Amino acid sequence: QKEVEQNSGPLSVPEGAIASLNCTYSDRGSQSFFWYRQYSGKSPELIMSIYSNGDKEDGRFTAQLNKASQYVSLLIRDSQPSDSATYLCAVNVYSGGGADGLTFGKGTHLIIQP
Amino acid sequence: NAGVTQTPKFQVLKTGQSMTLQCAQDMNHNSMYWYRQDPGMGLRLIYYSASEGTTDKGEVPNGYNVSRLNKREFSLRLESAAPSQTSVYFCASGIDRLGQPQHFGDGTRLSIL
């Protein structure tokens, strides 16, 4: 059974600091990893995707993947109050013969304190 | 530039009633998905369709049926609604390639009384 684990939080970070969000997954066959941001009452919005070991940077966001440790993280630099949201880690086992959906963690609630 | 469109946005049903949630995407994606999101449970996959004419069960398919009407449209039907199906339902679409994400609709908030 595929499992994706996240600390539910809330994680409270001062404005301007670095927010660090973590995720572990159980299926070693997982190949694609995503971070979605979800504001209260809204739909998930893609923030970052990564599928090879190492770091991937996009603006203030950096995704880090370590397949050996089955660990993926998201760093948010220069945190802003608008970053306050729930961050969902999602994992996909790419089958090549047909997509089988994403397995989501329960999300980490991030609060940026002004 | 609509992306994934879901209708309705809100619905209240009585136990035992039936209804169909509609989803359409204009991104020419082959794969479409239905998820439900409950407090403390995260997003869970109900059904998915890898291509037109095919559907497969996800993690929580009981009580639901789906139809992939064409490449654009993927509907979710509750034949006899139960209070346990009160949830927020999200439709998503995507390209079945390594590293390609899914894109979500705005959701349908469904209450079963």
Q: Could you tell me if A18 lies within 8 Å of chain B, comparing CB atoms?
A: no
The pLDDT assigned to B52 comes to 87
Q: Could you tell me if A65 lies within 8 Å of chain B, comparing CB atoms?
A: no
Percentage with pLDDT > 70 across chain B: 96
| Confidence check: pLDDT of B1 > 90 | no
- Provide, as residue numbers in chain A, all residues whose Cβ is less than 8 Å from the Cβ of B99: 32, 49-51
**DSSP-derived 3-state class of residue A90:** strand
Name the residue with tokens 């490449």: B71
Residues B36-46: tens digit of each pLDDT: 999 888 899 99
Q: Do A46 and B33 touch (CB under 8 A)?
A: no
Confidence grade of residue A30 (pLDDT, cut at 50, 70, 90): confident
Can you read off the two tokens belonging to residue B49? 């369709």
**DSSP-derived 3-state class of residue B65:** strand
- Provide, as residue numbers in chain A, all residues whose Cβ is less than 8 Å from the Cβ of B90: 43-44
Sign for the CA dihedral angle at A35, A39, A43, A46 comes to negative
From B68's Cα to the closest Cα of chain A, the distance in A is 15
The pLDDT assigned to B41 comes to 81
| Confidence check: pLDDT of A93 > 80 | no
Average pLDDT over residues A69-94: 94
B80, with CB counted inside 10 A (0-12, 13-18, 19+), is: exposed
Question: How does strand A61-66 pair with strand A71-76?
Answer: antiparallel
**What is the overall mean pLDDT for chain B?**
93
The pLDDT assigned to A1 comes to 67
| Confidence check: pLDDT of A82 > 90 | yes
Which are the contacts of A42, defined by CB distance < 8 A and separation ≥ 6? B106, B107
Cα atoms in the Cβ-side hemisphere of radius 13 Å centred on B23: 31
The pLDDT assigned to B63 comes to 96
Residues B58-101: tens digit of each pLDDT: 889 999 999 998 999 999 999 999 999 999 999 999 987 766 88
Q: Could you tell me if A61 lies within 8 Å of chain B, comparing CB atoms?
A: no
Confidence grade of residue A99 (pLDDT, cut at 50, 70, 90): low
| C-beta separation of A9 from A22 below 8 A | no
Q: Do A43 and B104 touch (CB under 8 A)?
A: yes
Mutation for B interface: A102, A103, A108, A109, most B CBs within 10 A:
A102
Average pLDDT over residues A70-82: 97
| Confidence check: pLDDT of A2 > 70 | yes
Name the residue with tokens 């999300």: A107
Q: Do A44 and B41 touch (CB under 8 A)?
A: no
Name the residue with higher pLDDT: B96 or B49.
Answer: B49
**Cis peptide bond upstream of B61, omega within 30:** no
- Provide, as residue numbers in chain B, all residues whose Cβ is less than 8 Å from the Cβ of A109: none
CB-closest option in B31, B45, B98 to A31: B98
A93, with CB counted inside 10 A (0-12, 13-18, 19+), is: middle
| Confidence check: pLDDT of B16 > 80 | yes
Q: Could you tell me if B25 lies within 8 Å of chain A, comparing CB atoms?
A: no
From B81's Cα to the closest Cα of chain A, the distance in A is 23
Q: Could you tell me if B79 lies within 8 Å of chain A, comparing CB atoms?
A: no
Q: Do A99 and B94 touch (CB under 8 A)?
A: yes
